[in-house]
A and B are shown apart, each in its own frame.
Chain A
């Protein structure tokens, strides 16, 4: 499953929905593992935005001069 990279807000929103589903739903184990996989991807994405330098942003700001 290839995703276009979400914004932080979009990623958080998706994550929230997945957590809701996992929390209340009687998900089948196969589906559950798929959801967890997706959640892991989203968490990683968010963490990267929080902690890792986004080269693109850096570049844009450097080019402002």
Chain B
């Protein structure tokens, strides 16, 4: 509920500044008097209380008085340029109630950097000047602002595709070499080391501190610089742990940082957070590989991973020895069985062999006799059959011979008659072709000096020739 600010017009009348430069008599007033007048005007002008939105800065509590002093500022939403600034005070009796209320509602330490909605009175003190005195606070506004801011960072990281990168890193089986980013003076650090090194199972861990400021304005820069140092040694570590001891409330605001979140998300080792907050996750928790509530819980988580590894090892060991023993037992019992049955087996075998031998011994004469008898019978049979066989053979041979003889005779006579016939033909032909035969048919031959004359030119007039007829020769002279 913000009350409208009603500014009463300031009346620059004579009663207030009766003598200006124009007047002849110059009236002087003291600074105190002026300040008192300003105070009076302000009190008149801002008589009520006002709900004001602002960011807190430089929040500090006076240890002896219990009063809280701070500055309210307003920055340009995009450039961050400082636009307005005013001192603020929360008196001890208010702060005593307001602080726990705010912290239990928001889960946040009442600290610099938070945006708040406060109910204030406007003050002007003659010595300390203009300031606001806080009389009430609305934590819902701060919560809303934190959520909005967180969502904004998450959205940006998601758009850039880096939000889930650290979560996607494979977690090492043995997370033993641990880079710890924390404040060395923090109670949480001691708790963490204590828990880790005194683990019941006796696992070995190698923690290494990378100091950082864990609250206030320097947090972002300091943690990023620690991450950079770890990065230079990245091969020497398995995981990064970011822890901070916390009570019920803490200054988580500094962890809702885009730059820090972007650095964590893209870090090449899995990051485990334990920044001591019960209720809300900061953006760092959201991008970290694993989020635990407290440093002790982080240590428990790491020990748990080693428990798992040791469990797996024991399991394998158990399986190995169990099965190996089983196999050995199987072999042993089969060996024992063999040994137990061996005599019986051997005895049986010998007995069977003996029996077989006896049996054979008994059968041998009979077998021999039978064999002899069989041979004798076949011999006798052969003796009886022999003459018959011989005669048969001779007969067979004779038949073959006879057949051959007949065949030969027949072939010979056929051949002879064939020859005779051709001879007759030849004789006939020769007879028909003989000169005697031809001459009998009326032909005659002329011979000169005993030779047959075949051509007329072979003869001269006066040659003495012989004409041969079938029935005899006649000598003649050529005319």
Contacts and interface: CB of A to CB of B under 8 A. Distances in A.
Interface of A: 8-9, 12, 15-16, 18-19, 22-23, 27, 29, 32, 35-36, 39, 43, 46-47, 49-54, 57-58, 60-61, 64
A8 B203 CA distance: 14
Nearest to A54: B204
Interface stretch (B270-278, B313-321, B366-374): B313-321
Contact of A64 (B201, B202, B208, B323): B208
A47 B323 CA distance: 21
Contacts of A22: 319-320, 323-324, 327
A64 B319 contact: no
A9 B312 CA distance: 12
A43 B313 contact: yes
Contacts of B331: 29
A2 to B, nearest CB: 22
B313 A23 contact: no
Contacts of A60: 236
Interface of B: 173-174, 176-177, 201-204, 206, 208, 233, 236, 306, 309-310, 312-313, 316-317, 319-321, 323-324, 327-328, 331
Question: Ordered nearest first, which 4 A-B pairs have the shortest CB separation?
Answer: A39-B320, A22-B323, A19-B319, A36-B324
B203 A50 contact: yes
A65 B328 CA distance: 54
Contacts of B208: 61, 64
Contacts of B324: 22, 32, 35-36
Contacts of A51: 201-204
A32 B327 contact: yes
Given A29-B328, A50-B306, A61 B206 contact: yes
